[in-house]
Each structure stands twice: as C-alpha cells, then as structure tokens.
Chains A and B, each alone.
Chain A
Amino acid sequence: MIESLISVLLFTTPLAIAAVGETVNQRAGQINIGLEGMMLVAAYVAAIVAIETGSPVLGIGAAIAAMIPLWLIQNFLTIQAGRDQVVVGTALNLCAIGLTSTLYQMRFGQSGQLLSVPQLPRWGGIDGMVLFGLLLVPVLGWWLFRSRWGLVLRAAGEYPDSVRSSGFSVARIRWEAAAVGAVMAALAGAHLSIGVGGTFVQEMTSGRGFVAVALVSFGRWRPAWVLAACLLVGGAEFLKFYYQVRQTALPYQLFLALPYLVALGVLVIVGKNSRAPAALAQPFRSNQ
C-alpha cells in the first residue's frame, strides 16, 4: 500500500510540476496550450542526451536548453505580435509531435525498440524531482502572493493597464512568467522520460500537458490547490488500477468518481470567490 502511494507520488510529479509552472504563467495572463508539446520535446531531448552522455542530470539541463527556442518563438508571436495564444500553442504542439516523432524514427527506425535511458537515482522509491516538485509549491506560492514580483505579475494577468500606469512593462513580466512555465515544462518532460519511465516512446506525454492546463483552473490558480488537484487525479488513476486488480463488491467506477466528487464539493464551498485572471489569454497592446 505504502509502496503504491509512493509510486502515485512519482507518477504525479511531472503533471504537478508542469501544472504549477503553468499556474504562474496563467496568473500573468497567458495560457500555454503548447505545454504538451514543450513537455514532449523536453522528454525526448532529455532521453537522448542522457543516453549519449550517460548522465540524467545533463539530460535535464539539455531539456531546459531546448525550451529556449520554443519559448522565444511562442512568446514572440503571443506577446510581441499579439497573436492568439491558443492558436500559437496548438501550432507548437503539432510541431512538437512531428519533430520528436521524426527525429525518433530517423534515429531508431520504425522498430519501436524499448530505449533504456539512464535514470535519476531514487531513495525509497522517490527521486530528487519529487522532492523538488513538493518544494516548488510553497516557493512559488510565496513568490506569487508574498513578493513584489508576484504582486505585479498577478496585476498583469488581471488588469495590465494598471501595471503600465505603475511604471512596469507588461511584456517583460509576461516573458518572465512564460520562462518560469517553460523551465517547469522542461523539468516535467524530462522527469517523464528519465525519472518515471526510464525510456522514451513517441507521444509519451499522452495528454498530460493538456491535463496540467486544465488542472490549473481546477486548482483555482493557487499552487497548493493545483498540487492537490494533481494528486487527486494521480490518486484516481491509482485507485483504478488498484480495484481492477482486486475485485470488490463495489463497482470500481465509484472509486474512480470519488476524488472528483470530493473535489467538486470542495470547490462549491471554497472556490466561489476565486476565478480566472481577468486578462487571461488577452494580448496586451501598450500603444493605446
């Protein structure tokens, strides 16, 4: 049982890191639909570099470096050129799937052989990234709500004009928030291949990026709640397998639905005063 719970924690970590990073991004008024694609590229790059060098840590570094061009292109289009964030993010996803699949097949052929990637060391079933993910929540929570940086960032997501009239650059804040999101996407993607899976397969993110984006709103744009939402989803997955294996009298669908029902109840009671950042997904033009 304990062992299973630890594996839930491990499996949930990539999702949680990506979602908490995306929370910062959305708080600044940006929605990164391209999170899925970023994680996929990071997973691929981390796996390849880890195989080549034998070092998972170098793999993680390479995954972060690989985010730089994606971050530049995506945010040039959204922040500087004012393009639709959802459209740009979707394009990024399609490119990422095409790119990683092509590179994978060029390198390993169509065989679908199972790659063996050097993994992060584990202690009692968890690795450093799990601890990092757990630590990330209070740190980013403090940063968002208890620092000057966070105050201005949240204002940029709610009412960018007020940021400008206070003398700060909305564009700069959004570039920074996107960078935080991109680094977290890199860590999440890398953890998927070299932390959890120990391999890379095509389209291995299988929707986790999209789920992460959805969980940000489920967690009402607060890092701690977003983490809780991630654990709920991770827990639901776990329950599904658990009850598939052990036949019980109760239909296992009930256990599947339980975390969501609990979450819904909590949201109805606690979440009524929180809502999406008012300027979410709206381009800001400073020349008005």
Chain B
Amino acid sequence: MLALAPLDEEFFGGTIHAVLGENGAGKSTLMNLLAGILPPDSGEILVRGTPCRLQSPRDALGQGIGMVHQHFMLVPAFSVRENLALAQTPDRRGGLDEAKLIQSAVDVAAELGWEVPLDARTEDQPVGVRQRIEILKVLASDPEIIILDEPTAVLAPDEVDDLFRVLRQLKARGKLVLLIAHKLSEIVAIADRVTVLRRGVHIATANMAETTAEEIATWMVGELPPQLAGKGGVGSGSVVLRASGLRARGDRGEESVRGVDLEISGGEIVGLGGVDGNGQVELAETLCRVRPLVAGQIESGGTVAYVPQDRQVDGLALGMSIEENFLIGGLSNRDLVRLGVVRPRSVKAWARRLVETFRIKIGRLQDPARSLSGGNQQKIVVSRALDQSPAVLVAVNPTRGLDFAATEFVHSRIVEAAERGCGVALFSTDLDELRQLSDRILFMSRGQLVEGESAQSLLGGPA
C-alpha cells in the first residue's frame, strides 16, 4: 500500500511546523523519511538546498536532523547516563568515558532547567522524564532540525506546557521544530505553520495566522456534508445496549469519558465520529467491559463482541497460530471447548469454515498470525467477533490500513450483522465510512457525545 503519495513541502528554520492528520494519514512515514529511517521509493530531500541521501538515522544526524521517537529509543535496564552515552558514542573503540560522552547532553539539560537523575535506572523514571532523556539525546548533538513524533501523547498537561516552553526556546534559536500530532487543540497553541495529510495525501499547508482551527479540522477529516444525519434507519425497536452516565479514565488516569448516555437498538448501526483522542477508544473499551467504569451503568441484551482499534496489539496474539487466534473468540462455544478441554478436531473444522466463509487468505492454520497481511489479520478479528452472533458489536476503526477490497468486505459483514438484528457501535475517524454505514451519527468531543452538525463539534481537545 502507498503510505505517502508524492508530496512537495518546504520547511523553514526558526519555525514550529506541525504535521497533522488522523492515524494512518502518513505523518510518521513523512517524518521517517526525513529522519533517515525509511528510504523513499522516489523523490529527493534537500537540506539547506543540497540534495542528500539519508540512509540511516546517523546520516540524518550528520545533516543536523534529529528525531524524538514516540516509542522511546531508550534501553530500559540502562542507567540514564548509559542511555545518553549510547546515543553519543561515535564508535565502538576504546574505553567508556561516559562523563565526556554525555557532557553536551548535561549542558543542554542545565540550559533547559531540567533535573535529570543520571544514575537512576531508566525504566524506573516516569514517562515525562524518559521523554526528556530522549529529547536530550537528540539535542546533545545540536541539530538544526528537530522532529518530534506525537510528543504530547504521553504527557500530563503541565508536562506539555514545559515541553512547549522548550520548543519555543529552540525556535528562538533559529531551529526548525517539526511536530507530528493528531490532537488539533494542542497544536493551535504552539505551531507557526501546519501541514495536513489525509490518507497519505497532502491536503494543505498554511500559516497558523492565516487559518482557523475549524478549517484545519475540515482538512483533517474531510469536507463535512450538509446532512450528517445518517441513513435514518430505526432498527428493530428493542434496545440491545443501554449505557447511562458513563465515566471512565484513560491510561494516564485522566478523565476521558465524561458522562456518556447511549442507546442502541437491535439492527441499528450507530456511527461515532470525532477527531482522535477525544475518548473514543476509552468509551469503546468501557462498553466492552475491558476498561473499568468510574460511574454509570451498562445493560446489554446478550454478548458484546469487540473489534479493537489496534489489531496487532489488542486483537491478535501475533506469535500464536491462526487457529489459536480464532479460538480466542470461541472459548465460550460449547462445541469447541467442553469442560475446559479444547476439542482440537472441532476447532480445526470450525476455523476452516470461518476461513472459507470469510475468504481469508492463509497458508496453514498453524502458521503464526504474524505471517498474514493486515487485511487478512483484520478478517480474523472481524469474523471471530461476528461468529458468536453477538447482540452488540463494538468496532473501532475496523478498516484502518486496509485496502479497498478488504474494506468492502468488513463493511458488508457489519451490515449483515445489523440485518441479523445486531446493534452496532461503529467508532470511526473516517467520515465516509460513517456516512455509508450508519443509521445515525454522533460525535465524541472531550469525552462527551454531541450531535454532529458543525465542524466545531469535531474539534475536541485534550481528552
């Protein structure tokens, strides 16, 4: 799949330039190209007017480009000192003169007013401190261009303020700060320029002074149709899922679901849209009882099936076989597991049937789930969820990263399930998908559900 369509863009020193887009828009791909992590299939990169081939992170660093990764490149078991030294050691010859190697990083820390516990074990540090270490690693070599991949994703609000203070300082020194983000509200506070990508395509670039948050939101998720009421179907009438006054916390303990009331009837597809990070995943997990409730009630008229957002982390055990991954969803099926004992022959036959009816392309049932393409992995998750004829299906971005055929397939399965009387909560950041499938559409904004009429309601903020 093409992750990033041909793109021309210019970045200037002394600016904070945000690259915005939903998940899978191609932001990280673009930054990985600039940081020497991915080689481009075509095109060239000019740094200060000179074309350069960036084959490795070290090449990029040589050109003055440093990247702060979203998944920290820190050795958990090392001391902070060792991690800083690892990033700075130019070669593998000679003794380990840590003090000398990390001197520049220590200087930068002092300049920024950061206290860094050099002798402490890295994994014992809170995530905010680990990010500081990661930033120090990059700043120690004094790069002209600093790329930060979703730096605010893991930070508490006051940590975000401190980070932004540092970024402004860097900007004042004439550096280019490139910021990847998908939370629009934070970007408005700091960026000078913004580039928006959607599904790998460059949508727009603008100076923040010359645009509005509403306009950027529209670029991110697409032109809002005048009518966003869904297809207006009503379902079978009987309510299969009733949630009232739901409150739940996010992974960092922040309030991410703040009072949600939701009713879904049998046969109804309810689309739940909104800009990422407004509590959608947390609400979905709460509905499936994967995430604990802080307050509120959920009643459901039968089993609730779940298609999680991240199939590789939450949906599948990649190292286990295809058959075993199917079985994860079939453990309550009496034909497959009786008295706690798995019946291998029935499981095999059942898995074969699913593979055939859902036309999943696999080698052998014993192959690891890792060996499948993204589309076929998702087919396993979807077919497994729908096989139990659930009363309710909760799906989060079920077609993310899938090609056209696989997307069509997943869509038709969801519609079929609804026709059989299943109530569907379809969380998606893709407006076309919502419009195509949903009987009615709601939006999530700052942890609450709103009727989706204006672009304003898409905006949301830090959940």
**Measuring CB to CB, which residues of chain A are less than 8 angstroms from any residue of chain B?**
145-152, 154-155, 158-159, 161-168, 275, 277-278
Residue of chain B at shortest CB distance from A274: B77
What's the A-B contact tally at a CB cutoff of 8 Å? 65
Q: Does B92 contact A (CB under 8 A)?
A: yes
Give the secondary structure class of A's interface: helix
CA distance A158 to B79 in the complex (A): 12
Q: Which of A149, A154, A278 contacts B93 (CB 8 A)?
A: A149
Q: Does B87 contact A (CB under 8 A)?
A: yes
Q: Are A158 and B78 in contact (CB under 8 A)?
A: yes
Q: How far is the CB of A229 from chain B (nearest CB, A)?
A: 21
Give the secondary structure class of B's interface: loop
Q: Does B233 contact A (CB under 8 A)?
A: no
Q: Does B204 contact A (CB under 8 A)?
A: no
CA distance A145 to B86 in the complex (A): 12
Q: Are B77 and A168 in contact (CB under 8 A)?
A: no
Q: Are A159 and B76 in contact (CB under 8 A)?
A: yes
With contact pairs A159-B75, A161-B73 given, residues A146 and B96 touching in the complex (Cβ less than 8 Å): yes
Residues of A within 8 A of B411 (CB): none
Q: Are A164 and B57 in contact (CB under 8 A)?
A: yes
Interface residues on B, range: 20 to 34
**Measuring CB to CB, which residues of chain B are less than 8 angstroms from any residue of chain A?**
56-58, 61, 69, 71, 73-78, 82-83, 85-87, 89, 91-96
CA distance A144 to B84 in the complex (A): 17
6 contacts between A and B (CB under 8 A): A147-B95, A148-B95, A158-B77, A159-B74, A162-B86, A163-B86
Residues of B within 8 A of A155 (CB): 75, 78, 86
Q: Which 7 pairs across A and B sit closest by C-beta, in order of nearness?
A: A167-B58, A165-B73, A149-B92, A162-B73, A159-B75, A158-B75, A148-B89
Residue of chain A at shortest CB distance from B69: A165
Which of B69, B75, B92 gathers the greatest number of chain A CB atoms within 10 Å? B75
Q: How far is the CB of B99 from chain A (nearest CB, A)?
A: 13
CA distance A149 to B90 in the complex (A): 11
Which of B61, B69, B73, B77 gathers the greatest number of chain A CB atoms within 10 Å? B77
Residue of chain A at shortest CB distance from B87: A166
CA distance A146 to B89 in the complex (A): 13
CA distance A220 to B66 in the complex (A): 36
Residues of A within 8 A of B87 (CB): 165-166
Residues of B within 8 A of A150 (CB): 96
Residues of B within 8 A of A275 (CB): 77
CA distance A167 to B36 in the complex (A): 11
Q: How far is the CB of A143 from chain B (nearest CB, A)?
A: 10
Residues of B within 8 A of A167 (CB): 56-58, 61
CA distance A118 to B69 in the complex (A): 59
Q: How far is the CB of B58 from chain A (nearest CB, A)?
A: 3
Q: How far is the CB of A273 from chain B (nearest CB, A)?
A: 8
Residues of B within 8 A of A154 (CB): 75, 78
* Given A158-B76, A165-B73, 9 extra CB contacts under 8 A: A147-B94, A148-B89, A151-B86, A151-B89, A158-B77, A166-B87, A167-B58, A277-B77, A278-B76
CA distance A154 to B41 in the complex (A): 34
Residue of chain A at shortest CB distance from B94: A148
CA distance A148 to B98 in the complex (A): 9
CA distance A152 to B92 in the complex (A): 7
Residues of A within 8 A of B93 (CB): 148-149
Residues of A within 8 A of B83 (CB): 162
Q: Which of B76, B86, B94 contacts A166 (CB 8 A)?
A: B86
Which of A147, A155, A161 gathers the greatest number of chain B CB atoms within 10 Å? A155
Residue of chain A at shortest CB distance from B61: A167
Q: How far is the CB of B178 from chain A (nearest CB, A)?
A: 17
CA distance A163 to B75 in the complex (A): 9
Q: Which of B57, B74, B75, B92 contacts A148 (CB 8 A)?
A: B92
Q: Are A147 and B96 in contact (CB under 8 A)?
A: yes
Residues of A within 8 A of B89 (CB): 148, 151-152, 166
